[in-house]
Structures are given as structure tokens and as C-alpha cells.
Structure 1
Amino acid sequence: MLAIKYARATVLFLIITLMLISCHGDDSRILITDNLPETKPEYQRMIVGHLSGEYELADETRMRSRWSEEERTLAASYLRQLLEQLNIEPQEHSYTAPNLNPAIDLILDPFKGTNIYGILPATGESDEYIILGAHYDTGKRNAPGAIDNATGIALIYSVVKELSKVQTRNKHLLIVFFDQEEEELIGSKAFVKFIQEKSWKTHSVHCFDMVGWDGDGDRAMEIFTASETLRNIYAETAKEHDIPLKEIIIDPVGYDASSTDFDVFVPAGYNVIGAGECFYHRDSSPYKDSPKDTFETVNFEYLLSCSNMIEDVIKTLASP
């Protein structure tokens, strides 16, 4: 009789285990077909279209927003597969962050999220990393987030895809898609602690947020940094591309801004630059954090122009 009970318990355990494995397997469903389009304009449109719900994913679902925990989980799965398109092994950096007031943790769960990252290794010996980062969450429920910030993700993908073709890269490229930028920069704050614990030697950090609006048609980009070296490289490359550059010089002493992922790297002492459309110079999407931040509002010619410029900047830094 005892043997029968033991056998039943074993069968029950196996059934539950298989059910859990099956449930976990939903996270790995195919969201991107075998290959994205080969040309840069086409794959940038596809990526922004996927992330903003304009195009169906491979499983015939749509990513309407990236705000709730479930939506961000789906977006993270998509981004892992996006890195795989680049033959880069995707990694998860899962974190837990306490509420601003510790007493609130007794009532509400602490913040939890997942940064997705991967590394395109240098072609030779190197201990230096260039970090390219963009957030993937959206600011409100039902906000498609086409410009904010699917465009930043599409830009990074195109830069890394082109850099992967370069024969000599003297630095590793670390690509990271931050979770919960829209919630007090929780994801990027956690990632700064993560790379500090790893003791990775960081050459520079480049953050891209909103790269899809050019209302006056001048193709201008905005940069903000405390680094004269990075500012000069961006300025020289922008001149070569005939792109006006709007510069905001940051004073790192006492810096405490908290509006985009760039901000968390400044007080941490990193050589960091932020870039995108002219948010502080009043030529930026008026649809940020709203249901109107859709695929149709993206200026893809502008996104392509900015991507080509940033690609040359990173080539200069990675392959001197």
C-alpha cells in the first residue's frame, strides 16, 4: 500500500513539474521570424513596428504597449530574440529594488524588473567596454512607445549590426535594454550597480532615448555630456554627415537630474553621453507617454540619418 502511495506521489510530482516547465516555455515562444529584413530602413521599420504594435509578431500577437509587468515581460522576450538575430547571446539582469520609503515595502512588493543585455566581443584582446543603452518600457498604459523608445532600440540594433561586420574592433560592445526607465530610472540604476560589481572597465556609455521626430526637417541631433572627448567626436562626425548638433554641457559636480537613463551614469563617474531628437531644444515628439506615440508618427528618414552618424561614432571609438 505504501508503495502505491509513493508511486502516486511520484506521478503527481512529475505532472506538476511538466506543467511548470510548459508554463515557463511560453516565455520562449517565437516572436521574430527566422531573419529580419537585410536593409537598414526595412529592419528599423520592422523593429519599431513590432515594439509598437503596428506589426504582428511571429505568433500573430501584437505588442500594444510595454507598460505593465506582463507587457514588459513580452518585450524582454522579443529583445532577447533581437540580440540572437545579431548572433549575440542574450543575458538577463534581473533585479529587485526597494520602494523609496522602506516602510512601503511592508505594504507593497518592491520593484522587480529585467534588463536585457549582450556583448559583441572585440576581435582581439581587450578589457574595455563601450556600452550602448536604451530603455524598452513605456510611460503609460496603452502607450505604444514608437518614438519613446522603440526608435532608440532600433538605432542600437542597426549600429551593432553594422559594427559586427568591422574586421577590427579593439573594444567590446555591451548592448543593454533598460527596464523601468519610466519609473524613476530603476532599471538603469540597478544596471550601474551590476557593472560596478562586475568591475568591467568601461570606456564610455552612450544612451539613446527618442530618435524619431524632426519637426523642422533640419536632421539635428541633441547631445548632453560632461565629456569633452565624446562631445568632440560626436561634433566631428556630425559635421561629416552634415547634421546640426545641439550640445548641452553637463556639470557632473552635484548632478542629480533624473529624467532619462543617461542621468544615473553621471554621478557614478562614467564617461557618458546621451543623444536623441531635440527634446530640450523644442523639436521633439508631442506624443510622449500617450496612446498617440504610434508608428505613424515616426520619421524613419530621421532615424536612419541619426543611426548612420552614431554608427560612425562607435566605429571611431571601437576601431581606432
Structure 2
Amino acid sequence: MHKSLIPILFSLIFLNTGEEPPLKLIDEQKKIIAELSGHSKLENGKTISSRSTKEERQLTREYLSNLIASTGLKPQVQEYKLPNVNPLVDLLFEPFAGANVYTILPSTNQSDDYIVFGAHFDTERNCPGAIDNATGIAIGYGLIEKLIDVKERNVNVILVFFDQEEEDLIGSQAFAKKLKKEKFKILSVHTMDTMGWDRDEDSAIELELPTNYLKDIYIKTGKRLGIPIYTTKVNSTDHHSFRELGFNATGLTDELVNGDYAPYKDTAKDTYETVNFNYVASCTELVYEVAKTLIEQ
């Protein structure tokens, strides 16, 4: 399918179902990615050129808190400090310190069950990080915007933006430990990373280390939407932190293993201009339909 027809197709699908066409959401996601990658200035006149240093990450956390607040939900911040793997390193360097930004969309029916959707917000130094991972943040935002309008929600949803993924998954480790310590009843965890590149325009995604239960739901949903789903054993991003503690977790990304992946990842060329926004839109729709299935069960 030609890429210019995808927004029109999405509009027709939503008109047939009586739902609002997603064109406004696509524009909002473009704005988010532009602002997070330094392509556009923030409303306060500042620019987030990358999201690596303490100052850049703090500015990004403020931005994400405001983004969550714009949906009508309450932004929350989990500050953490985690020691270095080797205790002797702490004598030379400070412990890892950062903060995750998250919110909870409550169920409409009483429930103690939760589903987690997350994406990291940090980058390597001097990297705009448009695809890695402003796209994941934009998809998470689009997801929560759409889930708010679901009238019957039988499960609570946590949306979390992780700090320090680029530093050995520190942020997601801290959040996974928080959920474990506070005894949250987590049904599943879904992390989104680097989802803005689709050279062959097939809308395919890779599902990393899913359980059979999650694999079946994604594949079934993908078939309905015309989105190919491939499963891999990639274990190098935030979903790993949760699986280590026994949570049912999977990761979503572009076709890293299949070879259709973002070539400018972790470089200064990971800019707004390289993002395939039709792919961001199709990924958003996939994640939303999966989430909707899970919260309506």
C-alpha cells in the first residue's frame, strides 16, 4: 500500500466504526516527537536537543509530566537511586540516580489488576533520539488518549516513561522493583522502543520474548489490522527488567532482527525527518487494539 493512502484508510476505518478519525492524534504525535527531538522549541522557548545529561533528562521529565497532565490524568514521578553493579565503583562515581514519570488510568469497574505500557525517554549523548525513543513516547501518549474513551475498562492501566534505559535499563529496573515491592497485581507489561522506521512500508513489528498468551493476542490483532507480527528473542531493552522479576512482559520494536530497523539509532542522525509517521500511526493502532482487548476481558 502506498504510504500516502494510510491516513485516508485509517480515517475510513474510524468513520465506519463511529469513532473519531485519528488525524488529530497523528498531528499531536508529530508535535511530541518534534519537541522531544529538538526539531521544535517547547512552549517555554527551551529546546530538548538530546535527553542524556541530568539537565536534559530533568527538562524532559517536566515535559512528560505536562504531557500526561494534558490528558486529564495525574502525572507521578518515581525518584530512585540504584548502586553500581560493582560496589567499588561507587567509590569513584555516584550511584545511578534518576526518575521515571508515570500515570494510572483507573478501571471503570472495580479491579486490582494492572497492565503496564512503557517507553524509555533518555538517549545517548548528543542524539536527538527521534525514533529511539520519542516514537515510543508518542505511541504511549496516543494509547492512553484512546483508552480514556473506552467506556468499560475492567483493568487499571499504568503508562510509564523510563529514565536511563541507555544505562543498563536502570529506570525500568527501578520501576519493576517498585511494582514488586508494593505488590501490584500485574497481568502483563508491554514496552515500546524504536518504532518509527519502516522502509518497506509493510507496517510489521517484532514482538520480543512474548509468552504464548501475549503472542496469540498480538498475532490475532495484527491479522485483523493487516500488520505482520514477528517474534524474536531480543532481550536488551526494558521488558527484560520486568521478566527478571517474574512479570509477564514483552517488548515491541521495528524489524531489528529482520533487518528493516532504524539505521541512525544512537547517532546524531536520529532526527525528526527520519521518522515514518504512518508507521507510528499503525503501531499506535495495534497497541491500542491489544490493550482494548486486554482491559475489556
CA distance in 2, matches of 1:267, 1:103: 24
CA distance in 2, matches of 1:103, 1:52: 36
Task: Say yes or no: does 1:95 pair with 2:111.
Answer: no
CA distance in 2, matches of 1:83, 1:220: 28
CA distance in 2, matches of 1:306, 1:241: 10
Pick the structure with greater CA Rg. 1
Counterpart residue number, 1:317: 294
From 278, 285, 288, the counterpart of 1:301: 278
- Counterpart code for 1:181: E
Runs of 4+ in 1 over 3 A off after TM superposition: none
CA offset at residue 265 of structure 1?
A: 1.5
CA distance in 1, matches of 2:140, 2:117: 7
CA distance in 1, matches of 2:190, 2:210: 12
Q: Would the alpha carbon gap of residues 249 and 294 (structure 1) be closer, same or farther in structure 2, given more than 3 Å must change? A: closer
Query: What is the DSSP-based 3-state SS (H/G/I as helix, E as strand, rest coil) of the residue aligned with 1:190?
Result: helix
CA distance in 2, matches of 1:120, 1:47: 20
Task: Say yes or no: does 1:63 pair with 2:42.
Answer: no
* Aligned length, in residue pairs: 276
- Counterpart code for 2:201: G
Q: State the Cα deviation string for residues 4-48 of structure 1 (Å, max 9, x = none).
A: xxxxxxxxxxxxxxxxxxxxxxxxxxxxxxxxx981110010010
TM-score (norm 1): 0.84
CA offset at residue 103 of structure 1?
A: 1.3
Query: What is the DSSP-based 3-state SS (H/G/I as helix, E as strand, rest coil) of the residue aligned with 1:39?
Result: helix
CA distance in 2, matches of 1:244, 1:109: 44
- Runs (5+) with no aligned partner, structure 2: 1-21
Query: What is the DSSP-based 3-state SS (H/G/I as helix, E as strand, rest coil) of the residue aligned with 2:278?
Result: helix
From 176, 188, 195, the counterpart of 1:204: 188
Q: How does 1:1-320 map to 2 (within 5 A)?
A: 39-139=24-124, 141-248=125-232, 257=235, 259-320=236-297
CA distance in 2, matches of 1:115, 1:310: 21
- Runs (5+) with no aligned partner, structure 1: 1-36, 251-256
- Counterpart code for 1:196: K
Q: Check conservation: 2:114, 2:187, Cα contact below 8 A.
A: yes
Query: What is the DSSP-based 3-state SS (H/G/I as helix, E as strand, rest coil) of the residue aligned with 1:286?
Result: coil
CA offset at residue 249 of structure 1?
A: 5.5
Q: State the Cα deviation string for residues 30-81 of structure 1 (Å, max 9, x = none).
A: xxxxxxx981110010010110011110011111000111000000000101
CA offset at residue 125 of structure 1?
A: 0.3
CA offset at residue 272 of structure 1?
A: 1.0
Q: CA RMSD in A?
A: 1.3
